[in-house]
Structure 1
Amino acid sequence: MKTTNPGFVHDISNLERLRAGINDDESQSLRAAAQQFEAIFTQMLFKSMRQANEVFESDLMSSSNSKFFEQMHDEQMASELSSTGSLGLADLIVSQLGGEEDAQSPIPPSEQDFREAIKEAPLNLPFDTKGKQPDKAMVEKAADDALKIMQQAQPATFTAPLPPLKPQQNQRGFDSPQDFVNRMRPYAEKAAHAIGTEPSVLIAQAALETGWGKKVIKNAAGNSNNLFNIKADPRWSGNKVATNTLEFHNGIPVQQKAAFRSYDSYQDSFNDYVRFLNQNPRYSEALDQPADPVHFIRNLHKAGYATDPEYSNKVISVMDTVNRLME
């Protein structure tokens, strides 16, 4: 970690030296500018904490003069801290802007190191504060508050590696309706057996909802595997993804944003579909007479599964195609 002598924070010759050094050593100038930025950021932290503490100040101990010297004290402390790299922000800026291409990612200081840096930062103040020293408890509180803010703002390069995402299955796209039917058939047969209906109606419903698998809702990992476009209501505690959807209100299609459930696999999607129907009393009529797939999907539609007034007719039409592909 490189350090520089910050000097007096209000010495404008520092800026002149920074400007003059740009052509001499670009990397050193970048580091100096990064430290200036870190100092400004630290000053903002101190200023916010001072303002939060004003409500507890006594009129006898607080005046415009004392606030003036407190501000100069805080600015000098921020300059000293930035010169020692206590926060690590300058190192990060230099690394990301290419000033030190071969430098390793900066290692964040420990909490104890940070607190000690705050408490022990040398203050080269060129004025007489008449013996007034910052309260120790206030300084330690400032260190704690600043540390919390830095931890919350800490970029990903400062954190431990995230655990790898659980690999999702069935990421390969579908080549054709026949391919969709062939790959969905084992899942549909299992789910249809649990419901007591025909697998073709479930495949048809999934085909209509996803455009034969080509329009499955995407998430950050690539595929939500949500074949039936089941929304993530308050009862859902699993992964979810937000996207635009077309809903019908009084027969009029309206675009709106909604949260949908996200699964690790297509098998999970079929399993949750069965569970979703069984856990919702409004679908009891559809589940009471599931043997006839036409009656099943019409009762499902009637119970409010979809807002499209032609939903059940569309599923039945697709089911005719599915039955031919399953022969």
Structure 2
Amino acid sequence: MSQTPLNNTLAFDGQAGAALRARATRDPQGAVKDAAKQFESLFMQEVMKRMRASTLSSGLMDNETTKLGTEMLDQQFAQQLTGLPGGLSQAIERQLARNLPKPNGLDPAAATPPAPEPLPTLSKRNVPDRVAQFILKNDDAAKQVEAETGIPAQFMLAQAAHETGWGRSPIKNRDGSDSHNVFGIKAGPGWTGKVAEITTTEYINGVARKVTAKFRAYDSVEDSFRDYAKLLKGNQRYAGAVAAAESGSAQAFAQQLQRAGYATDPAYAEKLSRVINTTVRVQRALA
């Protein structure tokens, strides 16, 4: 009789539970691993459910069929994000394994440590390398500025990712060197620092146009994050965005930035909200 793989089920159901109990009598260590993954999968489904609940839907296409499809899609995403190195399932597995018999005096949880997964293979889990590399490269700077200002590192990382296309479209100096301006902050009349002049896209009366503009240049990415936080907290027109950020609402933060005129793109808030959600998901996968 063939055994149904537990990692192929959409959710933890009665059949999966029975299979897990049966396996526990034959292979306790394997059952512990599967139970830990099932718990993590349920946890990830709940996280995604709450993320969707915090995002307002249009209501135009909402019905029972679309809701069911969304739930099934979230379950599949949860399965793909389950079992990553350093994730929740490994911590649960270690705790459960402590109660198992120890063969030959060895801790079964430590007998076969999981091999570290190389970063490039994350693309197989719907995490493109450029996305992972961008977050890993800028995470320390974002966290440092969050500690100084209270603006969530995830929100700043997401906006930097959106402005640079996950690092693919950096603002460069005339000599080709990196300006480290990851937030697209322009050099206005009051800016006395270095400047990078480039051709960019602006929306004028709702129409995209190519214009030449001057942008601030920095000595490091951390300087860019710090100047961005200073811009938000030091300008009254961004007070709504700062309050939304401190409340932890990604959608409200993006909407307040657009209302304050941070960007001319009429779809800026919608795009930024999606990138913030992506950043949260990828950081969970990289944890």
The aligned runs of 1:255-266 (5 Å cut-off) are 255-266=210-221
Q: Are residue 272 (structure 1) and residue 227 (structure 2) matched?
A: yes
2:268, 2:225 → 1: CA distance?
19
Counterpart residue number, 1:315: 272
Note the residue ranges of structure 2 that are not aligned, 5 or more in a row: 1-127
2:233, 2:152 → 1: CA distance?
17
Residue identity over aligned pairs, in percent, reads 38
Counterpart residue number, 1:208: 162
Counterpart residue number, 2:136: 182
The AA in structure 1 aligned to 2:209 is V
The AA in structure 2 aligned to 1:271 is R
1:299, 1:192 → 2: CA distance?
19
Q: Are residue 297 (structure 1) and residue 254 (structure 2) matched?
A: yes
**Secondary structure, counterpart of 1:256 in structure 2:** strand
The AA in structure 1 aligned to 2:137 is R
Q: How well do the aligned residues superpose, as a CA RMSD in angstroms?
A: 1.7
The AA in structure 2 aligned to 1:210 is T
The CA deviation at 1:318 is: 1.2
Q: Is the 8 A contact 2:200 2:210 kept in 1?
A: yes
Note the residue ranges of structure 1 that are not aligned, 5 or more in a row: 1-173
Q: Are residue 252 (structure 1) and residue 207 (structure 2) matched?
A: yes
Deviations 1:31-80 (A, max 9, x none): xxxxxxxxxxxxxxxxxxxxxxxxxxxxxxxxxxxxxxxxxxxxxxxxxx
The AA in structure 1 aligned to 2:142 is A
1:318, 1:325 → 2: CA distance?
10
Name which of 142, 146, 152 aligns with 1:192: 146
**Secondary structure, counterpart of 1:326 in structure 2:** helix
The CA deviation at 1:175 is: 5.5
The CA deviation at 1:246 is: 0.6
1:310, 1:199 → 2: CA distance?
23
Q: Is the 8 A contact 1:195 1:287 kept in 2?
A: no
**Secondary structure, counterpart of 2:196 in structure 1:** strand
Q: Is the 8 A contact 1:198 1:293 kept in 2?
A: no
Cα distance, 1:313–1:194 mapped onto 2, change above 3 Å: farther
Q: Is the 8 A contact 2:151 2:229 kept in 1?
A: no
Cα distance, 1:236–1:242 mapped onto 2, change above 3 Å: same
Deviations 1:199-243 (A, max 9, x none): 222111111100111211111251100000100001110000111
**Secondary structure, counterpart of 2:215 in structure 1:** strand
- Greater per-residue helix proportion: 2
**Secondary structure, counterpart of 2:155 in structure 1:** helix
